[in-house]
Every structure is written in C-alpha cells, then in structure tokens.
A and B are shown apart, each in its own frame.
Chain A
Amino acid sequence: MMHRLIWRCLPAVPAVIALLAWWAWFAIDRPPPSVMPSATDVVVTMWQLAFGGRLAGDILASLARLLSGVGLGIVTGMIAGFVAGLNRPVASFLNPLVVFFNAISGIVWLPLVIGWLGIGSALAIFLIWNTVFFIVFQNTVLGVQLVAEVLELSVRSLGGGRWETIRSVTLPGALPYILSGIRSGLGFGWRALIAAELVGATTGLGQLIFSGAEYHRADIIVGGCLLIGAIAMAMDRWLLLPIERRTVMRWGLVTSGRGR
C-alpha cells in the first residue's frame, strides 16, 4: 500500500526539487527580477492574469491551434506513412522530398507563409503541421516496415485480404512507433506553436510571452513557460498514457514495469 503510494508520487518529485532549488536560489542570492523572477512573483502574476486578464483566452487560442495542427499532422502523417510503408516505389519516390522538406525549419517558412495565409491561426496550424507531419510520417513508415511478415501471412491464410491485413495486423503492429511519433510530435508541436505565435498571431501563449519580453517582465515569460510545460505534461499523462495503457502496454508490445 505504502509502496504503491510512493510509486504514484514519484513523477512529482523532480518538480518539487526544482521548486525548492528555485526558492533556495532566491533565499541565498537574490538575483534582480528582470533576470529571474521569484516563484512568488510568478504565482501572483499568473493569478492576476488568470482572473481579470487574458490568460484563459490565450490558453484556449493556443490549445485550439495546437490540437488542430497536431491532429492534422497525425492524420496526414499516418496516411502517408502507411502508403509509403506498404509500397516500396512510393517510399523511394517520397523519401527525397521528405528529407528535403524536413531539413527546412519552420521559422524559414514564416515570412513566406505570412504572405500566403496572413497573421493568425492558419499560420500557426501550418507550422505545427509542418513539424508533426514528418515525425509521425517517419515513425509510421518504420513501424509498418517492422511488423513481422509472418503475422500478415497468417491472416492472409485465414482468408484475410489486403484491407483486413492492414486493419488487423499492420495498424496495431505499427502502433508503438506511431504513438512514439505522436508523443514527440506533440512536444515539437508546442515549440512550433510558440514560435508561430511570437510573430504571427495576436493571441495565444506565445503572444503572452512576447508581450512579457517587450515590457521586460520575466515573471510573465517564466509563468508562460511553466504553463506550457504543465499543459504538455497533463496531455501526456491524461491523453496519451491512457491510450498506451489500453493498447500497446495491454498487448505486451511495450512494458511499463521493467526494472521494478
């Protein structure tokens, strides 16, 4: 019982240590507030922004862009990944393009895409898609190619056609890699989102942080970063982890208990 409780609390320990270190730094060294705000300042500022400020609107705007961009990236990345993973000619046709465009960072697109799409959500969604697509695509291709051939053969000799084989073998078999791609995609999606919002939006957490920078308000910058990290952690824990528990972990494709 006690043992279980300790395990459940373990993920919170690094956060507590970081907070204590932050607090101790201020108790000992007292850096100027424009360099690094105190934890108290950050909490007070975020509190003010939350009640009577723009915080809720910024969070919603950012989340809407993130989820649309990531969702679009996952769907297109998986479809393209399946097509390329299942067809060697398509893969060799697509690969140079993928390598080419993957090397071009989102920031490079910004000036061009502002011209095409203007300032706003479409721009952010494009940049997020541009990040997530490649990660999900490449993971899906790998996952599809690594599914054991014998599983496909076994389903075909049960009378399964191509579609049945994809549905009941390739998709679940590639899922550990796809989920891993989605996890990295979400993280890099956040990065792209904030980069896009810094210059290409009027609302959102990126704009909040940008305004903090303009007024030399380190408390807003740090508060914004903490919020992004916290939302990302919450999404990983309450969105992605339950999916993994019900699928790849339940099937024994990945283990959660190793080293325990």
Chain B
Amino acid sequence: MAEKIEVSGFRHFFQTEGGPVQATGTIDLSIRAGEFVTLVGPSGCGKTTLLKAIAGFITPSEGSIVCDGKPVKGPGRDRGVVFQELAILPWRTVRRNIAHGLEIARVPRVQRDATVTRLVGLMGLVGFEDRYPHELSGGMRQRVAVARTWAADPEIILMDEPFAAVDAMTRLTLQEELGRLCVATRKTVFFITHSVEEAVFLADRVLVMTKRPGTIKAVLDVPRREAGGRDWDSFTSDPVMQKIAGEVMHLVHAERV
C-alpha cells in the first residue's frame, strides 16, 4: 500500500450559534508517497478545513483520515505544516526556529547544526542565521517557515497557501525553490492554493474543488517534473503545461463565488 494519505467520506460542519454550518461536501482523496498534490478552489470552499483535518487540528464531523495506515488523532511530527500567516516564533532566531523540531525530538546538537546549515543553504538564508524574524522581509520569513518544517523531516508536508502573503516577484523565486527542495528530499506534499498557475507549476496532480460546501470536481495529472525541478521560463513556454493550466483555469472559473 503506497497510499500516504487516505481521506474517505470526509465531511465537516462548524458549530456556530446559529446552528451547524456545512464547511465541505463529501470528500474522498488519496495521495501516494512522494507525490506533490495541489488543491485549487474558490475562497471559502473548505480547502483549509480539509488541510486542518489532515494535520489533526480539527476532528472531522464525518469520515476518516488515515496517514501511513494510522488514523489521524491529532497533530504529530509525521505531518509538517506550513501556514499561510506568519507562524514562526518571533522570539527565536532563524537558526533556533529551524532547529525547533529537532530540539523537540532531542536530536544531538551536532546533528541539529548540520541540518540547519544544510537548510539555510538550500533556502538562501545564509548570513541571516542569528537574526530574529522581525528583522527579515516577508519572503525571508516564509523561507524560514519552510526550512523549519523540512528540518523536522516529516514524511508528509501540508502547505496552506504558504506564499499568498509575499510579493509576486518573491513568490516566483520561492515556488522554484520549493520545487527544487521537493526533488531533493522526496516528500509527500499536499499544497493548497487559489492560484491556478501555482497549482499546475508545482504539482504532480492538481485537484479542483467546487465552491462551498466544496467537493473535488476534477483531478488533472501533470507530467512529472525533470530531475532539476521546474522553472518559470520553461513552464511558460511549455505548451503541455499551458494547456493544463488553461483547463484548470476553465474549471476554477466556473466556480466563481
């Protein structure tokens, strides 16, 4: 069984003072080990709810979520999360933020330092190791967030619009870097976005969601990226990619809210 994440019959309601509100329709989903799956959908469709349930932050109203053959009961270090808003700790330096997961796992100092040095290099943070987050730009902070999640070495990584808050130029760089990082480390990634281009650029498989209460309305395979990862120059000039992006755009467009 190569299924890394198995979501079956998932449905979620939020309890509000005005009664239960349906956040998602019924969702079935499975992600294989090493696969990069992106999920696009209109805002409010329930994509973040689904991610939070896989992360173990909320308990599904209906259905089950199984990761690595084990039912999800709460958050755990097997599932790293990169959040949309700034979630690195302001009171830890870049180095100590990245090392945090390893500290929790009681990894020896030498090994911790080696991992931090490697990720600092991969994410272009050299020279900023001893800075605090408030001294960094938004793009840099999000690099730290990505590096911190990777440093803890979870097999599954969940990303909730991680680049939504950074400027467009930086976003292009971060997307390329994420692509390279994934090729280098072979993680199973579930990535939420509302950007069609981003979804197609990064994914092995793109899922399109309907508007609230969201269900998965289409699944598109994207031909496997080459060993060196993807870059935006070849992506924009590749007719196959542009055709897929066009299809996804068409599907998403129909779900305007």
* Chain A residues near B (Cβ < 8 Å): 148, 150-151, 153-160, 164, 168-169, 172-173, 247, 250-253
A-B interface pairs (CB < 8 A), number: 67
B134 touches A154 (CB 8 A): no
| Cα A202 to Cα B185 with chains together (Å) | 73
Interface residue ranges, B against A (CB under 8 Å):
55-57, 74-77, 79-81, 83, 85, 87-92, 100-101, 104-105, 132-135, 148-149, 152
Closest to A172 in B: B91
What chain B residues lie within 8 Å of A247 (beta carbons)? 91
Give 10 new A-B contacts, CB below 8 A, not counting A154-B83, A155-B89. A148-B85, A157-B81, A158-B148, A159-B104, A160-B100, A168-B92, A247-B91, A251-B91, A251-B132, A252-B135
State in angstroms the CA–CA spacing of A173 and B74 once bound together.
23
Interface residues of chain B: helix, strand, loop or mixed (majority): loop
Knowing A164-B104, A168-B100, the reply to whether A153 touches B87 (Cβ < 8 A) is yes
Q: Given the known A-B contacts A168-B100, A251-B132, A252-B132, are A159 and B77 also in contact in the complex, defined by CB atoms under 8 Å?
A: yes
B81 touches A151 (CB 8 A): no
Most A CB atoms within 10 A — which of B56, B57, B87? B87
27 contacting pairs across A/B (C-beta < 8 A): A148-B87, A150-B85, A151-B87, A153-B81, A156-B74, A157-B56, A157-B75, A157-B79, A158-B77, A158-B104, A158-B148, A158-B149, A159-B101, A159-B104, A160-B100, A164-B104, A168-B89, A169-B89, A173-B91, A251-B90, A251-B91, A251-B132, A251-B134, A252-B90, A252-B133, A252-B135, A253-B91
Please indicate the chain B residues that have their CB under 8 angstroms from the CB of A253 in the complex.
90-91
B141 → chain A closest CB, angstroms:
11
A173 surroundings in chain B (CB, below 8 A):
91
The reply to whether A250 and B132 form a contact with Cβ atoms under 8 Å apart is yes
Q: Do B104 and A160 touch (CB < 8 A)?
A: yes
Partner of B89, one of A151, A153, A159, A250: A151
Task: Give bound CA distance, A252 to B135, whole Å.
Answer: 8
Q: In the complex, what residues of B have CB within 8 A of residue A155's CB?
A: 89, 100, 104
Check A159/B133 contact, CB under 8 A, given A168-B89, A251-B91, A253-B90: no
Instruction: State in angstroms the CA–CA spacing of A253 and B88 once bound together.
Output: 13
- Measured between C-beta atoms, what is the minimum distance from A250 to chain B in Å? 7
With A and B bound together, what is the CA distance between A253 and B90 in angstroms? 8
* Structural contact, B104 and A157, CB atoms closer than 8 A: no
Report the separation of the CA atoms of residues A148 and B85 in the bound assembly, to the nearest whole angstrom. Answer: 10
Q: Which residues from A are CB-within-8-Å of B79?
A: 157
